[in-house]
Each structure stands twice: as C-alpha cells, then as structure tokens.
Amino acid sequence: TPTCEPETPLCCRRDHYVDFQELGWRDWILQPEGYQLNYCSGQCPPHLAGSPGIAASFHSAVFSLLKANNLWPTGTSCCVPTARRPLSLLYLDRNGNVVKTDVPDMVVEACGCS
Amino acid sequence: PAAASQCPSCGGLTLPPQVERALVLELAKQQILEGLHLPGRPHIPRPPPRAALSRALRRLQPRSAEPARGEELISFAEVADSAPAACSSVLTFRPPPAPARLLRARLWLHVAPTRPGALRLRLFRWGARRRPPGSRALLAEHPVRGPGWQALALPPSGLRAEAPGVLKLRVDCDAPDGNGTARPPPPAPRLLDTAGERRPFLELKLRPREPGAGRARRR
C-alpha cells in the first residue's frame, strides 16, 4: 500500500506518529514514548475493489462480467485496513502498579479496497 | 460534520492539517483507552518511586524479551514492620482484581546483610477474610543464602484478593538449627530493606483477557 502523498488520490495509508507527551500522558504510560496511528483514506474505483485480498484472476473475471453486462455496483468500495499489528504498552494503573500488556490490532500496517 | 455526506475512508475528503491533527490525537486517546479497557486515563495518587520502578523493571527485563501473551504486572508493597527489631513485616499490595487470570506469582524481597548464620523466610497470607483475624495461612518457605534480592514463588490460588484490590502478606524469619526445628533468630536490625529502590514487589503474570470479557455473559 503506498503511503499517502498529497497528489495520491487513490486508497493509501496515512501515517501519523502520536507522541504521548502531546496527549499529556507521559506520566502514566511509561513505554513506548509514542506510537504510529495510521489510518486508510483515498478513493477506491471499481477496478480496485476487493484488491488486495482476492485472487487477481477471480477479480478480473468479476470485473469483466460487470463491464460486459453494463452493470455497476451501486455501493462504493472503501479504503480499509488489511493488515494490523499489536502494540506493547507499559503503564501505571490507578494503584501505582506497573502493567505490561499487548493491545491487539493497534497499528495499521497496510490498506486496501473492500 | 463537514464530512457528514461522505465517510472519510471512501475517498475525496481532505481536512485542513490542524483539524486532521486534532482528530488524530483524539482518536489516539480513544484507541489506547479502549485497548486497555479503561474508562479514562488513570490518576495515580501514589506513583512508585522512580528508583524502585527502574530497579524492578531491570530485574524483570531479561524475561520480558519473549513475546508476552497476556499481561505482566508489578505491584509495590506498602510495608509495616510489626516490631522494628523483630524479624517480621506485613506487606500490603493493591493489585487489580483479576483473580481468575493469575498464572504465576513471585514475591521479590531485599534481605539486609546484617543477619549471621542460616536464615529461613516464611510467608503467610495475612488476615484473609475466611480465616479468623490475624490467622496465618503458610504460602511459601525460602532459605536465605545471603543478603540481597530473594525471589519467593507463590501459589496463585493463595493470592486471591479478599477486600476489593487489597492483599496482605506477612513475612517471618527464623533460624533452622539443622534438625528441622526453628529457633528465634538473634535480635538484629530490620530484616527487609524497604526504602527506595529496594521496596518489595509482587511480580504477577496474568492470562490474556478473553475477547469480550468485559461484557456480561448471556445465560
């Protein structure tokens, strides 16, 4: 998935780094200092629908059927996350205990068209 | 609101950079709190001293290199000596109430270097509600081979918190005389180092949360 450049109108991954200092949370989140909050945005024209994800040959077959019968799907395909990874956090709870945990699916790694 | 007519991920939407940044920061707060199952950011009236914190994390660091499934937790003790010259202390912990998820528990204590001869630590559950007040349930025994940090493995079943979030343990010591009977240790200064970075702490390993554990189970 391309990361978003200003001139990229198509579905891409928009990278943002959030420093916990910016949130004023550095007092209770000990590690890491921040994390990547990426999200997906951009256009998904019909010929990109379902990619990546389903087999290209299957997709081209569906797409040619659509064209041959002059059918166009009424809904639009959306740019959504297709791969994520967990984030390991070390933080203080309200009792002053140190907790180390892995939060699943916190960082978007890749985007695609639904 | 400006995007009401179109969802932002379906293309075509561009936000001014300041608005996008404010949105991202707000989203980050929601995402982290939701990921940690917290209603809001915790306020910590009694943060642990930095020295104790870094010492405890350094002590655990080698083990936490493997990918951790579940949670690991360090809970620092509030220490009350029953008698400064005696060989016993009562430790009070405030772990979060997660009795069913406890997999492993270890108590770390720093023994002062002033005790001559062999010494044995005995750890008791203290004041558990189901027992008469002040009664003692033996949890662990540990021979002390020298001053410094000692790690006592505890049975998770013996650590269920009684009152919401409060756990009391009592540490006693005696000097076994070779044939298994114990005699009171010679009087000496305090058994445990409890100041600063030598504060006792519990190291707990918790099973991963069940997906949807926060919600009521449908019967």
Among B25-29, B57-61, B109-113, B121-125, top mean pLDDT goes to: B25-29
Check CB contact under 8 Å for B9 and A88.
Answer: no
Residues above pLDDT 70, as percent of chain B: 63
Check CB contact under 8 Å for A22 and B25.
Answer: yes
pLDDT at residue A61 greater than cutoff 80? no
User: Residue A16 corresponds to which amino acid?
Assistant: H
Check CB contact under 8 Å for B47 and A92.
Answer: yes
Interface of B with A (CB under 8 A): 7-13, 21, 24-25, 27-29, 31-32, 35-36, 41-48, 53, 56-57, 64, 67-76, 94-96, 165
- Residue numbers in B near A88 (CB within 8 A): 68
What does the alpha-carbon distance between residue A59 and residue A66 come to, in Å, rounded to a whole number?
A: 11
Total number of residues shown for chain A: 114
Read off the pLDDT of each residue in A23-35 and give the average, rounded to a whole number. 94
Query: What is the per-residue pLDDT for A58?
Result: 64
Check CB contact under 8 Å for B9 and A91.
Answer: no
- Residue numbers in B near A22 (CB within 8 A): 25
pLDDT at residue B1 greater than cutoff 70? no
Both tokens assigned to B2: 């400006």
Query: What is the per-residue pLDDT for B208?
Result: 77
Strands (E), A15-78: 17-19, 29-31, 34-36, 39-41
Identify the residue with better confidence: A34 or A82. A34
What does the alpha-carbon distance between residue B219 and residue B214 come to, in Å, rounded to a whole number?
A: 15
User: Nearest Cβ partner of A41 from B8, B48, B67?
Assistant: B8
| DSSP bridge partners of B120 | B143, B174
Mean pLDDT of chain B: 75
What DSSP state is assigned to residue A43?
B
